[in-house]
A and B are shown apart, each in its own frame.
Chain A
């Protein structure tokens, strides 16, 4: 009996489909057969699309080629639905063939947005969140994802710190909130937190390549991007949480905004193989005008005369000389970039998979520089039980780069510009040349530097998480997630032994740095979704623990017998030194959130988080911080009285939010005093290295956001407006005590000033996003997106009104103050003297305020005609440091990005413009280039136009043979308008017709050509107006001190899908 029953059930199961078919075929006799192909906007056919008859459960699924056939009753309406695409309904009318293009959901308001520890429909958002989809950034050929955000999100400004591949960008979400801590946002990559801070202020604080991040060390701008190990091609969506009501759930790490990156996963509908490859060439599109050999000889003769030095006999007939060495031509190269990306994605039996391999090989535009990256990713999730889903996301990245020093007086670009043209690259015997003996020049042969020094960095990064998500009862989910991130890096810095005559290195020198860090992050989340009539609730309770460790070993050695093989064991044993560092930090958190919606009209979010941070004194209550947030929204257009105007204006939503976040990113143990090892001939000893501050606690940031969203013209045009006020209180800052209290930095035996919670900084601003899209019907479609960001930054208070002056090292190893941060002003303003031309007549000079206590005359230490006329700002009748004032503003009035995508039949064209308006640049490269203060170094051609009694109509002062002469004081002479508009990207693509390729089992082929950084409209005289911040330091923004210029890149590529 039992067997019979079992058999019957089996029969039922087996024949059910047949029975259904029978049923269908029976009805077909009186009905119509419709067939067609379903594809996406790119023309790729979509398998697995559900095609159902409206009002019934009857339907079919498209086959591997996107084809379907269905039998329907007359006057039916067919519903085409597929995950990730907008469902479409089409009435069959009298058609027998219906080909459908499904548009993806990205432009729609019902798309899902990732918020902290959960998701929400875009239309239901109460806070300010911007989303970017893969297709919005797919044309941008950038190494790392942070660079791709440039001009794409309102309220986010991105500047590349260097044109060097893999270098860190500075990303600022809604202005600048912290002075000492990092201003970089927190990135959450598939649940793995990654700090955007490339300088690791809160961890080791050490670069993985080079000695330090200081502006007066000579490591230069050496911060590497923490995100460059993520292959941008793997990214599906980027959600930027901007206002505090959205970021407060990240508590202490949310102050600078949170950027959530979700990588691709497999979709329903069979496996897909996707390949993309491109080849690019890049070059430096602008060179600076420096003196050629003839001009140089004339110039040297003139300076020698003025400095009272015998002119060089070989320059007695400048017109007989050739053009000399063009160092810029020697050092810059046209570089080749190759990129390949292969991925496999699909879904089977409740299992989604995505696997990818990526390879990037990018030559730098400076000879000898190169960047190679290998990435791989596996994303897998599966339903083990109907109540249990588990998954894993793993990313591996290895990069191998050879880089150069930039933004430093010892950097290659400075060396290139200032190296004299009378020196050849190589001697007749092929060896590298050096300056003639007796000149005592500090500039090395830049070509030799680039080609013989080995400065390489290998990074191996592994990042990933595993998670399990259980449905406990309906609506209640428990998720546990363990994430880990680790990186091993090896930096080899080798200077070979060489003897180029006047310049030599007797003992080949090696510095090896081996560093590693890891962090683990454990999360437990409970989410409960439920409705009570029109009341909809989503509740979240969670716990998170973050634990980070870092350590490193730095070994130096010299005295190698050969330049070819240089490992530590081959060095002179007496020269080996080694040092190391180690540390850890932790953060323990509890948080909860409620999202409430009433009748799809009123929305409310409220959250609170408690963080306990190891940065503060464990013996005190200072470790704990509480970060609440609340936000409210009103969907005006869902009110019944709005139904009449819906066809004109729709989706109107008002948002208001308030939240508090914190910042704790400071070095460890600043609450206690530490002893640093300081050695002498007497042996090792220990000296206090910092003044402690046990009262140190959280920096808190409060933000209020007002938002308005609406759409016009049947949702073709959508507008998002946000206004915010963001106030940082008690920000963490190392008090700039005068040196008479600290004795300078602890590196040289001083005692570092304490960190303290001082001052207030406020940012107010607005973010505007305007989108326009044609409905994707017909052969032509177009969409445009304009984002505009504006912020106004102001320091509201500082303890004791301490000015925060910051120095950089200019050429000639001399640090100078370039910025100051004053109450009532924005952070990091250019600071120096105001000038009023040059002194041209003695009457003016004699009646002018006394310049720096100098008498009038031509002797050294005196002021004379042709000197810069500084303005007596405080009116006390003398020019002295009290006359220094604000001379420029690195903050833009606004930044914008303008994206345009056009599609006509199989062609698509995208044009992306991006720019910054109203910011100033301090051009220290020019200061060096027109200083006329040293012999034997090259200058910009402008330097020739220096003041003489017969050449008075000039702004270049008379030459004085000292690099500390007053004409070189930092002044408005070096401040330039840094506004620019850049055609950042133009891409033209062509998708091959389906008819042509379908017979080769290929779903889609697209070829494209693109130009990156095509043209820049600017008045800036330097290489590139996009300067960024020196090692992400906000106090050193917009300062051009020999920056590695961003190249122009032309690419050709191919996109294949099987």
Chain B
């Protein structure tokens, strides 16, 4: 009996111990900090960590914008490119809708840049540790201002009135907000580029390309000069352009200061972040979808026999019938922009049947499914070929940079700013800028020039780089409509002509966004700046 009692007590004792001990440790037991991510509050303690904060904003945040949308709107819409691929051809005939998936992801991507920039602009200063130097901190915040301005610059040119968001958390409890007026968005862009130019490092782009990647004071000023052109503030555009030119930060690739290079070299993978690059997206395939550039596949040739891509589809975008006549045959940019039948490109590795070799462009009737009769050369670097092309990722995407702005454009901005909206100019500095671009392309110098000259030069120089649509959007509307309705937007068999209306120059808001916030359709409201 006694023993039994003892055991009973012992058992009870064990129970109590077990219950007690298990419960008392539950405070730690239920604290599970992340095991595979970094907590925001414990990061940013060193200069290196702060510097890396913006790395993702040179690629990932732009991926969805750049992947197809950018070209589907800016190049197909402007009549530079032709495609009959259902996902990207809506702007060929101005029939894009708010349900267009590319329109949706392009919109998202630009706002991703703004959300990430806002996180840095508003909170980084409070989060950095004492070991971070103020210059590093300010440079990183400057990069964020630069990205926000650039994203808004695209938004306002594509959609017009959009909401201005300087701190996403301000709208956490009231996310349904109005759009703001176009002039207010431009004011934000202007302020942001000025903030960026004050905070970013001064740089000189040298031959060590690995240190050229990040934007600088000069990058911000160059972008702001472009914004001033859109605002028709030619004086400020000129001042900024000249500041950048005189700083000597950038050089024309293949121009007098870099004679060993050429226009074509600008688009080779080893020349990422060369001396001409003002701002470029820096792709890096890392095994995740959405980290590299698909231009090599989307452009180029894929006809079932000859392919310039590691993917089995390709050549989704092709040159329009209209742009094929743009270049004179002595223009060095012709070969580097469009692949015409018969041209050989020893620098591009291609698949030909079951073998591989240098690309020789096949006859017009054998160039890809678009039926355009030629293919896009720019940004096409061919099938993976060691250090010449860099690696491909599982989606056949590659790591060659995409220019948002390069020095040649700044020179053209400068030339245009000097015209100041006037008829003809013979300004020596203006001519110097314009002729530098022309001479590199193998064209003779002009002695006087008009807006028309600069406008055409911009199209030739920047074709397939996503600019012509925006150029068409900033000239008088009737003039733009006249240009576009005269473009042959069909394939090589069927000429097709479409006339845009005024409203086709502004994209519809994504249907899903309107569903979430019908106020987007209300008239824009003024924005109160602090």
Contact = CB atoms under 8 A, between A and B. Distances in A.
Interface of A: 211, 308-310, 436-440, 442, 470, 472-473, 478, 480, 499, 501-507, 509, 511, 522, 524, 526, 543, 545, 547, 551, 556, 558, 574-575, 577-588, 590, 612-614, 618, 623, 668-669, 672-689, 691-692, 735-745, 747-751, 754, 800, 802-803, 805, 807, 812-817, 820, 852-853, 859-861, 881-882, 884, 933-934, 961-966, 969
B11 A472 contact: yes
A579 B304 contact: no
B165 interface: yes
B152 to A, nearest CB: 11
Most buried by A among B30, B40, B176, B510: B30
Given A738-B513, A800-B176, A964-B97, A478 B15 contact: yes
Contact of A962 (B90, B307, B512): B90
Contact of B172 (A478, A502, A754): A754
A668 to B, nearest CB: 6
Nearest to B38: A675
Given A440-B316, A679-B286, A743-B116, 11 more contacts: A580-B36, A584-B35, A586-B30, A739-B111, A740-B111, A749-B62, A750-B108, A817-B512, A861-B93, A882-B518, A962-B90
B105 A884 contact: no
Contacts of B370: 440
Contacts of B32: 583-586, 614, 668-669
A579 B393 CA distance: 14
A735 B169 CA distance: 13
Interface in B309-365: 310, 312-313, 315-316, 351, 354
A514 B53 CA distance: 30
B271 interface: no
A738 B104 CA distance: 11
A524 B19 contact: yes
A588 B29 contact: yes
B175 A800 contact: yes
Contacts of A438: 303-304, 368-369, 371
Interface stretch (B224-232, B253-261, B287-295): B287-295
A442 B369 CA distance: 12
Contact of A669 (B34, B52, B97, B514): B34
A579 B29 contact: no
Contacts of A961: 84, 86
B37 interface: yes
A440 B313 contact: yes
Contact of A502 (B43, B304, B316): B304
Q: Which of A211, A551, A683 is packed against the most chain B CB atoms within 10 Å?
A: A683
B383 interface: yes
Contacts, number: 351
A744 B510 CA distance: 12
Given A682-B55, A685-B53, A861-B93, A743 B304 contact: no
A585 B31 CA distance: 8
A432 B79 CA distance: 39
26 contacts: A308-B494, A440-B316, A440-B368, A472-B8, A501-B305, A507-B310, A586-B29, A681-B59, A681-B283, A687-B57, A737-B175, A740-B107, A741-B111, A742-B168, A743-B61, A743-B111, A743-B116, A748-B63, A748-B112, A749-B116, A750-B111, A803-B516, A853-B503, A860-B93, A962-B90, A964-B99
Contacts of B119: 687-688, 751
A965 B99 CA distance: 10
Contact of B37 (A618, A675, A743, A933): A675
Nearest to A743: B112
Given A438-B369, A803-B516, A814-B87, A582 B35 contact: yes
Given A502-B312, A675-B38, A803-B516, A740 B162 contact: yes
Contact of A545 (B29, B111, B514): B29
Nearest to B20: A543
Contacts of A583: 32, 34-36
B278 to A, nearest CB: 16
Nearest to B63: A748
Contacts of A738: 175-176, 513, 516-517
B22 interface: yes
A577 B395 CA distance: 13
A681 B399 contact: yes
A814 B105 CA distance: 11
Contacts of A680: 55-60, 282-284
Contacts of B39: 669, 672-675
A961 B394 CA distance: 31
Contacts of B303: 437-438, 502
B247 interface: no
Contact of A440 (B95, B109, B369, B494): B369
B115 A750 contact: yes
Given A439-B369, A744-B112, A682 B290 contact: no
Nearest to A387: B7
Nearest to B518: A882
B89 interface: yes
A967 to B, nearest CB: 12
B29 A581 contact: no
Contacts of A805: 512, 515-516
B374 interface: no
B36 A581 contact: yes
B41 A524 contact: no
Interface in B78-107: 84-87, 89-90, 93-101, 104-105, 107
A682 to B, nearest CB: 5
Contacts of B43: 675, 686
B109 A748 contact: yes
B377 to A, nearest CB: 19
Contacts of A577: 285-287
A860 B95 contact: yes
Candidate in B40, B98, B115 with the most chain A CB atoms within 10 angstroms: B115
Contacts of A686: 38, 43, 52-53, 56
B12 interface: yes
Contacts of A964: 86, 90, 95-97, 99-100
Contacts of B84: 961
A440 B85 contact: yes
Contact of B115 (A480, A669, A743, A965): A743
B511 interface: yes
B154 to A, nearest CB: 13
B23 interface: yes
A812 B304 contact: no
A590 B23 contact: yes
A578 B288 CA distance: 10
Contacts of A691: 168-169, 172
A480 B17 CA distance: 13
Contacts of B196: none
B414 interface: no
A176 to B, nearest CB: 21
Contacts of B61: 678, 687, 743, 748-750
Contact of A587 (B12, B30, B56, B351): B30
A190 to B, nearest CB: 21
Contacts of B18: 480, 524, 543
A730 to B, nearest CB: 16
B515 A817 contact: yes
B89 A962 contact: yes
A748 B55 contact: no
A556 B52 CA distance: 25
A673 B41 contact: yes
B366 to A, nearest CB: 8
Contact of B401 (A501, A584, A673, A681): A681
Contacts of A672: 34, 39-41
| Residue picked from B40, B162, B391, B503, most chain A C-beta under 10 Å | B40
Nearest to B37: A674
Contacts of A802: 175, 516
A577 B19 CA distance: 47
